[in-house]
Amino acid sequence: MGEMTIKKENLMLEENTKRLRRWCEMIHAPAWFFEELKLPKNVYQMKIRPTIRGEKAPMPAWRVHDINPHPKGSYPYKGGLRFHPQVTQELLQVLARDMTYKCAWVNIPFGGAKGGVPVDPSECTEAELRDITEQFTVELANHNCLHAHKDVPGPDMGVNERVMYWMLNKAGDIDTGSPPYQALTGKPVENGGLPGREEATARGGLDALEKYLQLTSMFPQKPALAIQGFGNVGENLARLAHSQEYGYPIVAVSDKKGGIYAEKGLDIPAVRAWFRQNQTLAGFSQAAAISNEELLLLPVDVLMPAALENQITERNASKIQAKLIVELANEAVTPAAYDILASRGIPALPGIVMNPGGVVGSFLEWSRNLGTMAHNVETEQIYEETKRKLRAIMQAPMVKLCERSRAAGWSLDDTAHVIVFEILQEKLRKRHGYKNTCQ
């Protein structure tokens, strides 16, 4: 199983690199630019030895720095930490690239990074998970990956604010060169975290969707959504989309074991209450049970994959019936699937456009932590300010995306990456002193 996973992730990196070359060719980039984007700046492979079921269990851990196009020492690398059994170095390299692109897309001055440990948190006791977290924290600090102006990790899949609190607490035992609360994001609000950070990826995706629908007039009324995934992003997405603030009908949701579907719309508060009580969507009696694969093929207005990578692929892209795809999970749509969807005339908003809300929230948290710590009486005021800034930042690039895509006849995915690559090429040329000559 492990060998198969490694081969799959190697293929994913290879396909991602082919796509990278395609976008370089679309902007007639000089040869140096492709080489800059192809290779990560640093890949730190580590080993930790947590105690699992009473015995030491050596396991690998990684932190990948993709590229940082900003002046040295001014702005750090930024990207989440993932605890998931399918974490590999190759997957983290792809996700770190995506972080570079996302930061450029929303004009956030960070370099892309990603890190993780191949472990399933749901199979660990609290003591085991804390041991993994604390040992990983020490290793990150040893590799200078915990510093407010060099590398600022945050949460990703399998990591929540409890894990970030453990990291913050452990980092206090280590001299990292900057206060620990400045070198981590996604912390609990009472420990320097940002009100609204936990929901930022989901909220940012909805804000971007609202702008796209406004610009395109694609649907005469609020479209119905199907959401794959019920983790941090998926559950917050369902909660917010269903709320009076956004007002979308939701006809399907799913977790890793399967999903539920109701053509006339789900009672999301009841669904969330069931999930909290049972830790699964299975058995919810007010909707029909469906598989994750069936959810992807439903005849819905908007399909929002918000779970794992490689969900819409060349195997099922030709069967997709949704009118619009919104990629909330990193790499949920494969390169081949994007091409198939484009050939079928189904618009697909890519992850680098739809899910930077998390890194925007992290930027706002990091920026605030570099100044003064907020008092809890300011929580509501800061939350409203976070929502306002997040909405503005997520919606700002959408006009350019729609106009450029329409004018050039390119897919939304190609257009977004072309825009990002043009931004990165100019920044890297200035940073490293390259001549701006084309191939």
Q: What is the CATH number of the domain that holds 151?
A: 3.40.50.10860
Token output for 43:
């890949």
Type of residue numbered 387: K
Instruction: Report strand pairing: 55-56 vs 51-52.
Output: antiparallel
Answer yes or no: is 255 within a domain.
Answer: yes
* Same domain? 134 vs 83: yes
CATH number reported for the structural domain that contains residue 297 in this entry? 3.40.50.720
Instruction: Give the Cα separation of 303 and 209 in Å (integer).
Output: 12
* Same domain? 204 vs 123: no
Residue 277 burial (CB < 10 Å; 0-12/13-18/19+)?
exposed
Token output for 168:
């913050």
- Decide which of 329, 356, 383 is a domain's last residue: 356
Q: Which residues are catalytic?
A: 114
Quick one: CA dihedral 232, 402, 416, 101, positive or negative? negative
- Answer for the pair 44, 145: CB distance below 8 angstroms, yes or no: yes
Type of residue numbered 360: V
Type of residue numbered 267: D
pLDDT in tens, the chain (439 residues): 344 444 566 789 999 999 999 999 999 999 999 999 999 999 999 999 999 999 999 999 999 999 999 988 789 999 999 999 999 999 999 999 999 999 999 999 999 999 999 999 999 999 999 999 999 999 999 999 999 999 999 999 999 999 999 999 999 999 888 899 999 999 999 999 999 999 999 999 999 999 999 999 999 999 999 999 999 999 999 999 999 999 999 999 999 899 999 999 999 999 999 999 999 999 999 999 999 999 999 999 999 999 989 999 999 999 999 999 999 999 999 999 999 999 999 999 999 999 999 999 999 999 999 986 667 778 899 999 999 999 999 999 999 999 999 999 999 999 999 999 999 999 999 998 887 655 4
Domain count, the chain: 2
Residue given tokens 């660990």 in the structure block: 124
- Decide which of 303, 332, 356 is a domain's last residue: 356
Task: Tell me the residue range of the domain where 173 lies.
Answer: 42-186
Answer yes or no: is 410 within a domain.
Answer: no
* Same domain? 181 vs 297: no
* Same domain? 150 vs 235: no
Considering only CA atoms, which of 227, 236, 234, 347 is closest in space to residue 295?
227
Q: Is 151 helix (H, G, I), strand (E, B) or coil?
A: strand
* Same domain? 174 vs 217: no
Token output for 246:
């956004």
Instruction: Give the Cα separation of 112 and 133 in Å (integer).
Output: 21
Q: What residues contact residue 263 under an 8 Å CB cut-off, 6+ apart?
A: 251
Instruction: Give the Cα separation of 173 and 319 in Å (integer).
Output: 54
Type of residue numbered 421: F
- Answer for the pair 78, 154: CB distance below 8 angstroms, yes or no: yes
Report residue 198: phi and psi, to 5°: -65, -35
